[in-house]
Amino acid sequence: MIGWFILLAIGAYLLGSVPSSYLAVRWARGIDIRTVGTGKIGASNVLSAGPKWLAVPVAIFDIGKGALSVWVAKTVGLNSAAQVTVGLLAIAGHNWPVFLRFQGGGRGVFTSLGVIAMLSWKLGLITLVLTYLFAPIRQVAFGVFVALIALPFLSWFLARPLDIADRLAITCGFIALTVMALGKRLVAHRTELSKQMPWRDVMLNRLLFDRDIGDRRLWVSKAKAGKAQ
């Protein structure tokens, strides 16, 4: 089993590192997705960088990266702790892709969703609902924050395994997933829009809304204008 775990751990990271949005936009428009929109490598930025329909296959592929990694780990008989670890490595690959020299990765939202759903379909459904609960007011990033914070608490009660060791492994894994996802928001480079703001305000905006300032429209418009120059 150790051999299977090592093989799947490496494979999950490499699969997670495949930058689907980068490749899709490069193929469709011949441009680097990191130079348009928010500059992030993820399905959401495909809406700004390329044909909008591309966001669908990119999102499906990113979800599949996480889901497939955990599914294979389950299939070969690895325990819950190993399954969670393999899933986390797929997310880490998406966030810090070796194929892009560990730079410019996304936030791993869809890849995380694939991991969560494969470990517990109930948690996957709840995470999806919480994530897009605020979509009508264009605050999906805040929905992601709510889902990530709730995830470890909900996992203790809703994760499929009844054995306490399995539940503990999954809950600890989801805590690591939450820290990794929110930590990726906090370590972003500071922008010109926030240089005069106190650090605590910038960090709070990043944590809750995944941007440096509270004004979403200004943030998006400045990002687009900056990439266009």
Instruction: Give the model's confidence band at 44: pLDDT under 50 very low, under 70 low, under 90 confident, else very high.
Output: confident
Q: The dihedral of CA 188, 194, 200, 203: what is its sign?
A: negative
Give the mean pLDDT of 59-75. 96
pLDDT exceeds 80 at position 192: no
Instruction: Give the model's confidence band at 145: pLDDT under 50 very low, under 70 low, under 90 confident, else very high.
Output: very high
Q: What whole-number distance in Å separates Cα of residue 62 and Cα of residue 181?
A: 15
Nearest to 127 by CA among 108, 144, 107, 104: 144
Task: Name the more confident of 149 and 229.
Answer: 149
Identify the pLDDT of residue 35.
76
Identify the pLDDT of residue 191.
76
Identify the pLDDT of residue 161.
60
Model pLDDT for residues 80-91, shown as the tens digit of each residue: 999 999 999 999
Identify the pLDDT of residue 229.
42
Identify the pLDDT of residue 228.
43
pLDDT, averaged across the chain = 87
pTM of this structure: 0.89
Helix ranges (DSSP H) in 76-163: 80-95, 109-119, 121-132, 140-158
Spatial contact of 16 and 94, defined as CB atoms under 8 Å apart: yes
